[in-house]
Amino acid sequence: MQERIALTGNEAMALAMKQINPDVVAAYPITPQTEIVQIFSNYVANGQVKTEFITVESEHSAMSATVGAAASGVRAMTATSSQGLALMWEVVYIAASNRLPIVMPVVNRALSGPINIHGDHSDTMGARDSGWIQIYSENTQEAYDNLIQAVRIAEHPDVLLPTMVMMDGFIISHAMENLYILSDQDVQKFVGEFKPHRPSLLDVDHPVTVGPLALYDYYMEFKRQQAEAMAGAKAVILEVAKEYGELTGRKYGLFDAYKLDDADLAIVVLSSTAGTARSVVDELREKGIKAGLLKLRVFRPFPYEELAQVLADRKAIAIMDRADSFSAFGGPLFTEVRAAMYDAKKRPPIVDYIYGLGGRDVNLDHIRKVYTDLAEIARTGEVTQVVNYLGVRE
């Protein structure tokens, strides 16, 4: 049974957390994520969940408490944004290294400085190599659905990796949209009871050490196990998505290809900008221009083989990055997609557009310009500038 209601992204995330009903949530407020834990704390206060809610003095403490709870053998969650994620940095890596299936909503917000409270992807892109699975959401519906699926993904015995679920700050987190929600009972049945797949810190009959010292004699084996778990997560993500699709009728994969089968010109993008780009694709198709779109849902693990296969026959590709890597060679999404295309039999020209930093608006004209540039590249076969900045005052 599903119900259609109107919620903001933050309300939808908080509702999903309520329906998941985790054992422990440790959290600290930060704009634009604050509402998620604030709303969830009301559920706790009203006795609507069994969760032990821990108010801490910082985001570093929030992740530390969540790690401790997960290591003790319970389902644990937290949430954050921007500087909060940055303050968690040390413990974010520890959570992944200890193979703790923590699930964390992240409302994307620019990292300082200068101080900025609006949405871009610099916070989670900075954590892209921390060992966490990363799932990006285009809208409120996807944020809700992705968070519920993330529990099953993270806790799968072949994965056991923490998982971030992202949505764009203010654009999605504070915007109200219609979405379909499941009943509490259906969510509980889908996520199931938490079953630890490793000894608990509190299991005195089977004592374990968590967070040991591992020097050159064992450290590399730990890291290789993490890498293997991340590689294996792709199959689990698709397996969970299939089951969730059977429950809801909503299909999810590693990415969503829109009018891409016969496209000559393609844009690859994350999150809410996909909705804007989709409108331009429809407009260009009406004019006979073969435009297409690939919205990446799962950034970690990075689906390089699948991307190379679906993008190989395009005449020109643009990657849109809502974060800069400051490598002087484009944003993080660009470098990874470009690398994925290296072994493709056909390697179309690929250019990067860094846009929307600090929440700067991206509109239809911006997307039209990208497709116009791609059409010229496809016509001439020449790329005059690989890395571009879209909508910036030069």
pLDDT of residue 200: 86
So what's the pLDDT on residue 197?
A: 84
Q: Which residue has the tokens 């190989």?
A: 312
Q: Which amino acid is at 273?
A: T
pLDDT for 188 equals 98
Q: What is the pLDDT of residue 394?
A: 77
Task: Give the start-end residues of each E strand in 137-207.
Answer: 163-168, 176-182
Pairing mode, if any, of strands 133-136 and 298-300?
antiparallel
**In this predicted structure, what is the pLDDT of residue 201?**
85
Domains assigned to the chain: 2-248 (3.40.50.970), 255-389 (3.40.50.920)
C-alpha separations of 44 from 110, 147, 184, 193 in Å: 30, 19, 15, 19
Is-contact 294 255, C-beta < 8 A? yes
Q: Is the pTM of this model over 0.95?
A: yes
Query: How long, in residues, is the chain?
Result: 394
Q: What angle do CA 118, 336, 321 make, to 5 degrees?
A: 25
d(CA 72, CA 92): 17
Divide the 394 residues of the chain into consecutive groups of 10 and give the mean pLDDT of each group: 96 98 98 98 98 98 98 97 98 97 98 96 98 98 99 98 98 98 98 89 86 94 97 98 98 98 98 98 98 98 97 97 97 98 93 98 98 98 97 90
